[in-house]
Amino acid sequence: MPVPVMSSVVRAILSENLDLSADEVIRKAKVRGVTSPERVIRTTAHNIKSELKRRAAKASAPKPVPAAARTTKTPERAPVPVAVAVVIPEVVAPVLVPISSSAGPDLTSVLANIALVNTVVGECGGAEPARRVAEAVRACGSVEAFLLHLNLIAQVRGATV
């Protein structure tokens, strides 16, 4: 019969009764066939007992209750119409794009997105092919899903990804 693993036996003994003294744990471990020296069993018993007590304290500690969400109403400002001139290479005259004042802090991101879309329209060969790409992204469900499909098609066609 193989010799039982000392730490497993000590853990099992202490799991049954965490209030046992080290001497009682040593005695029960020896009865179960542990052949390790008493000082090693004692050290293991103290370490496992401490670990089990920490786990028990952690499990019984009251968890903080999250505070209820508070909503504050920000005063609404009247929208002030703003127009931004955007020059698209295919269009001779600048196009005025109305932007509400609520987008004021995000004006730079709006303009950056307009520039990005303009680049995509140029790369796709026009607004209609770019619109078909956007519809394909929407049909896939997300940009990530579209990119996965795009990589698959590129591999099938033999192009580098």
Q: What is the pLDDT of residues 9-23, one digit of tens each?
A: 999 999 999 899 999
Residues 6+ apart with CB under 8 A from 28: 13, 20
> Is the Cα torsion angle 137, 138, 144, 145 positive or negative in sign?
negative
Q: 122-134: per-residue pLDDT in tens?
A: 888 888 888 888 8
Question: How many Å separate Cα 89 from the centre of its chain?
Answer: 41
**Global pTM value:** 0.38
